[in-house]
Amino acid sequence: MSKLVRSPIEVIAVLSGVGGVMLVLYAWHLPPFQSSVETTDDAYVRGYVTTISPQVSGYITDVPVRDYKLVKQGDVLTKIDDRIYQQKVAQARATLDGQKAALANSRQQEQAARAGIASSEAQIDSANAALKRAQLAWDRVATLVAKGVSTTSDSEQAQATLEQAKAAVNQAKAGLDVSQQNLTTIIVNRASLEAGVSGAEAAVQLADIDLENATITAPRDGRIGEVGVRLGQYVTPGTQLMGLVPKDVWVIANFKETQLDGMKVGQPVTISVDALGHRELKGHIQRFSPAAGSEFAVIRPDNATGNFTKVAQRVGVRVKIDENQQEAQDLAPGMSVVVSVDKDSAPLQDTAAN
C-alpha cells in the first residue's frame, strides 16, 4: 500500500489540530479573523436616580403616589404634618410685627427728641434775651445808686434778677445737652432695632421655607421607584422616602484596554438590549473615562508585591443614545446591554465635539 495513504485516525487528528488553531485565532481576533468591530457585554444603562428625602421632621399625613408611577415636576409626593410649622410661621410674623413696632416707636422718639432740642434752643434764646435785659437793668440801677438817686434795695433787686437770668441761661443750656444726649441714644439704639427687624424677617423666611418643605414635590419629570414611606410614619431630615428615575439615560460600556485603540469620540455605536429581545438601538461615543475602573475602587490593587498576573483593565466609555428612537423610552437604569463599535467608522460631525 502507498505511503501517501493515511489512516482515518491520522486524518481526523490533523483536521482537529487545524480546527483548534483556527478556533484560537478566531477567539483572539487574530488574522485571518481580525475585525474592526469591538464588542463588550460589560455594559449597562445608567441614569441619575434621585433619592427623595425630607428637609423637615414630622409625621407623614399623605402619600399620594404609588410604586413605579409617572410624575411631573411639581407633583406632590408626600406630605408631612405642617401644623407645628404653621404656628412657627405665625410666631415669627408676630415677632416681626413687634420688632417693626419698636422701630416705629424709635422713629417717633427721634422726632420728639429733635423737637425737644428745638425747644431747648428756643429756651436758650429766651434766657439770653432775659439775661440781656437784666444786665441792662442792673447797669442802670448801678449808675443811679452811684449818683445817689436809687436806693440800695433797688440795687439788690436788680442784682438778684441778673443772677436769676444767668441761672436760667445755664439751665436752658443743660436742657439742650440732655435733649442732644437723648437723641444720640435713640439713634444708637436704632441700629439694634433695625437689626432686630432684619433678624425677624429672616426668621419669617426660614419658617416659611420649613412650612413649604412639609410638602415634598417631584424635582423633575420621571418615574417613581419603590415607595418606602408609609402613612403615619415619623421621618427626619435625610430619611430615604423613595427614588425618582428621570427619563434621561445613557450607556456605560466597559471595554478592555486592548480594545480602545482606534476608538474616537463621535463614532457610531450599536446597542443590543437584553430586556427588549436584543433589539438594537443606535448611539455614539460621547466621552471616555479618565482612568481605568480599578482606579475608582475603594481598595485599589497593589501589584508591587507577590506574584503578578497581568490582567487587561477595563475603561468606561459613555455612550449617548441617539434621539427619535421609540424603543429608547423603555430603557431603565441598570439594564444589561451589549455594545459594539466599528473602529473604522468615521465620527459623526455634529457629535464629535460633545
Contact 224, 68 (CB under 8 A): yes
Residue type, 177: D
Contact 285, 346 (CB under 8 A): no
Structure-block grid coordinates of residue 88: 412657627
User: What percentage of the chain reaches a pLDDT higher than 70?
Assistant: 88
Residue listed under C-alpha cell 490593587: 301
Contact 82, 58 (CB under 8 A): yes
Contact 228, 241 (CB under 8 A): yes
CA distance 247 to 249: 6
Work out the average pLDDT over 109-129.
82
The pLDDT tens digits of the residues spanning 319-349 come to 999 998 988 888 999 999 999 998 888 787 6
Nearest to 225 by CA among 248, 242, 237: 242
Work out the average pLDDT over 294-306.
72
Is 83-213 a CATH 1.10.287.620 domain?
A: yes
CA distance 31 to 111: 100
Spell out the domain ranges in the chain.
1-34, 36-47+248-301+311-354, 54-80+216-240, 83-213
pLDDT at residue 353, rounded to an integer? 46
Over 90: is that where the pLDDT of 313 sits? Answer: no
pLDDT at residue 300, rounded to an integer? 74
If one compares 313 and 162, the residue with the highest pLDDT of the two is: 313
Neighbouring CB atoms inside 10 A of 224's CB total 21
pLDDT at residue 2, rounded to an integer? 47
CA distance 315 to 273: 21
Residue type, 303: N
Work out the average pLDDT over 311-325.
90
pLDDT at residue 287, rounded to an integer? 93
> What are the φ and ψ backbone dihedral angles of 122, each rounded to 5 degrees?
-65, -40
Structure-block grid coordinates of residue 310: 497581568
The pLDDT tens digits of the residues spanning 29-60 come to 666 656 678 899 999 999 988 999 999 999 99
Question: Which fold would CATH assign to domain 54-80+216-240?
Answer: OB fold (Dihydrolipoamide Acetyltransferase, E2P) (2.40.50)
CA distance 211 to 93: 13
CA distance 260 to 263: 5
CA distance 158 to 137: 6
Counting beta carbons within 10 angstroms of the beta carbon of residue 31, is it exposed (0 to 12), middle (13 to 18) or buried (19 or more)? exposed
* pLDDT, mean over the chain: 85
Structure-block grid coordinates of residue 51: 433619592
pLDDT at residue 130, rounded to an integer? 78
The CATH number of the structural domain formed by 36-47+248-301+311-354 is 2.40.30.170
Over 90: is that where the pLDDT of 12 sits? Answer: no
The pLDDT tens digits of the residues spanning 163-204 come to 887 887 788 788 778 878 887 888 888 888 889 999 999 999
Over 50: is that where the pLDDT of 352 sits? Answer: no
| Biggest CA pair distance of the chain | 187
pTM of the model: 0.66
If one compares 53 and 148, the residue with the highest pLDDT of the two is: 53
Alpha helices in 36-151 (DSSP H): 83-147
Identify the top-confidence range among 72-76, 301-305, 323-327.
Answer: 72-76
Over 60: is that where the pLDDT of 94 sits? Answer: yes
Strands 37-47 and 336-342, how do they pair? antiparallel
Q: How confident is the model at residue 310 (pLDDT cuts 50, 70, 90)?
A: confident
Half-sphere exposure of 28 (CA within 13 A, CB side): 7
Q: How confident is the model at residue 150 (pLDDT cuts 50, 70, 90)?
A: low
pLDDT at residue 149, rounded to an integer? 66
DSSP string across 23-66: HHHHHTT-TTS--SEEEEEEEEEEE--EEE--SS-EEEEE----
If one compares 286 and 300, the residue with the highest pLDDT of the two is: 286
The pLDDT tens digits of the residues spanning 196-233 come to 999 999 999 999 999 999 999 999 999 999 999 999 99
- The residues, ordered by sequence, that sit 6+ positions from 143 with a Cβ below 8 Å of its Cβ are none
Q: How confident is the model at residue 297 (pLDDT cuts 50, 70, 90)?
A: confident
Over 60: is that where the pLDDT of 64 sits? Answer: yes
